Structure 1
Amino acid sequence: MNSPETQVHHLDGIRILDLFAGPGGLDVAAHFLGFKSIGIEWDRNACETRYAAGLPTIHADVSVMRESRFDEIPKSVDVLAGGPPCQTFSVAGNGAGRRALDEVKEFIHRLVDGEDEAKIDDDLHTLGKDPRTALVLEPLRWLLKAIETEGRDPYKVIVLEQVPAVLPLWEVYATLLRGGEGRLNGVKYEAECWELKTEQFGVPQTRRRAVLVARRPGHGAIEPLEATHLPFDLHRGKRNASQADLFPTDSAIPGAKQRWISMAEALDAASRLKGSPVDVSRLRTGGKTKFFVVSNYGSGGDPKNRGQRLSSEPAFTVTGKISRNKVYKTIEEYEAAKSGRFTIPESGVLQTFPHNFPWSGKDQAQQVGNAVPPRLGMHVLSRALRGDTPSDDELAASTTWPPVSPTTTDELRVIGCGDQSPCPPDSHKITRAHRRSAP
């Protein structure tokens, strides 16, 4: 497997195109599985993280790339992947996407049926009064573009993920991909979609994702992903922070799958790795990492009703607001309102990024929260591309990121931004991130 250090010199071997790539959750997963990828990302800060990590990147708007720069995508790409922005579909967002689900389903059919795209674009501008809702159609538009472009082959594999509210749209995608009608020009796929719980795949947080996997016929049916861990009971009895069982030690069920991974287990393991920026000594009591977290979000519609998680449990869903979650070591700290925060490396570990992943640029908490958990990505990509599950060695290796030199970072920035003229408008007005040296 090539390291990110050598990928910049071998762009012709790239197989995976990651739309809406963010800081690289799917790209990190692909790397540890031995596949090369390139991501399209419009946010300059996320691009700085990707350059620092050695991940090939095009700093651009996904729609602009499709419309006017499609020929810049390496022809070796045969896998289309991505997670369109979820804010309008997420329960934490404004809900415009959820309210417009039936309209979006109609747009999917209109695209495949061959209706004039200029008319579709005009209608999309008014969809839910939030243009981000329309981005869930971009993967389909990229597939149609590949089918209709001379010298390009249809993607062999498609992997998409989003919040659970989008599952009905993935089901429409799957039905159309199986049929191959209209603008699909007879190109058919085996296609399946599921709702997955991240803690069942070794991610130390509770997070649900809607996943679509499609691939050209000839490789057998797409089997469901095999969960490696037990689900976490979100409806366990409410606990008061002052209860005597504040820090239970185990909830394993004999003879079943592995128990979910807790925050303490994940952070402790990361802190023991060589050169780790994760230091949980501030959260230790009697030699054990013990703390509890109060969510930034209210539950039951009451913003004052903040949920709590113990260190012996998985984290809440890691969002861009994770830096606002309050971390308390003791009941006394809680009563005195003296809280701490998760650091960016710690937040990344809860997302299953390598402990030493080189987060760069501004808005790093938002970058962490927007990303696909790489460990979940490894399970999804492994099933889609190889028909199996990640090996123990691959999963073990995914805790540490290889060093990337400043030279490679600069070369990738040139590939991604060039003279900056093709980049999104005004995106280079932010302060350029401080250059990192290789560890």
Structure 2
Amino acid sequence: MSGNRAVVYVEPGKVEVSDISYPELILRDGPGVNPLNVGRKCEHGVILKVITTNICGSDQHMVRGRTTAPSGLVLGHEITGEVIEVGRDVEYIKKGDLVSVPFNIACGRCRNCKERNTHVCENVNPDRAGSAYGYVDMGGWVGGQSEYVMVPYADFQLLKFPDKEKAMEKILDLTMLSDIFPTGFHGAFSAGVKPGSTVYVAGAGPVGLAAAHSAQLLGAAVVIVGDLNAERLAQARSFGCETVNLREHPNLGEQIDQILGEPEVDCAVDCVGFEAHGHGNAHGEAPATVLNSIMEVTRAGGRLGIPGLYVTGDPGAVDEDAKIGTLKIRLGLGWAKAHTFVTGQTPVMQYNRYLMTSILNGRAQIAKAVNATKISLDQAPAAYAEFDRGASKKFVIDPHGSVK
């Protein structure tokens, strides 16, 4: 085989489907590849035929031009695929296996990996701990919105589905295991959601919807989702969430009081991140809005899960401080209320096996919750544009027409 096609970032607001190199078990030079990673041998890796790969809100940040992503970067960190080639050092993963790929790239050998902190692996990104496929400043590992992709450290990282035929029947759910479902679950879990909790989820995009569904799985009594987008809030209501339209009702505490009889929740999850906007009709971008508002409405002693993306470099930010990730956060408020903050990438491998079992046994309905919508590879540019306009869909790319 020699051909491969992929979704490539071109410039702010533009992606295209391009011909790229067929993957090898070595990391070659290319857009975004860290010079210290060029030529890195990966005989511990595999080549996958991509079965499904999803468009993520994190991809959208790059496509909007809100990061330092270079032109030509192959996008995509949510990957599910069939193994078609294995490296000589791979022992347990076999050709023909259907697997989910955690978006965190992790070696399994460093201290952090051994302590299950695979989101901050020390050996895969020369710039800092932590890496991901097809993402800016993450080491340059080639993205998976493509027909074929290379995945390193296969024995350690890959989650094999036990029954390939049954897995394909639920592939629109299982494709969410690479990122969005563990990320939403991590947000709810790290916020301390438990049976009987009242929970506020900021953001009704796919991660927010995944966090809301996860909170329900964890036993929350009431899950309230807030957003400025009426279509996305309708999707949250479709599986039993209460909602707050912050465009129409800018006072979050008052709206929570109307739902719960008090203006506070037990815990909250930020699923918006650094492109947050203020509340109300005349809202503008205000990147600290969500963090400050969830501190206001979370009870003293509560916990805040923050899977929403925050970056150290944002060329499109509203001020010079925000361009380097310095935001006007009311830390004094969080300190006074003794809040616990949990931030950073999600350590997918802590959750994906359990969530897989929940899907296969009918407990989790994540594809329904996030409105999974299958598209072809060639439809990806249009889907990026639709997603950017606020569509309440989780786009799932099917590069080979494998999904019934």
- TM-score by shorter chain over 0.5: no
TM-score category by the smaller chain?
A: 0.3 to 0.5
* Relative contact order higher in (CA < 8 Å, ≥ 6 apart): 1
Larger Rg: 1
The structure with the greater share of residues assigned to helix is 1
The structure with the greater share of residues assigned to strand is 2
Q: Normalised by the size of structure 1, how large is the TM-score?
A: 0.30
Q: Normalised by the size of structure 2, how large is the TM-score?
A: 0.32
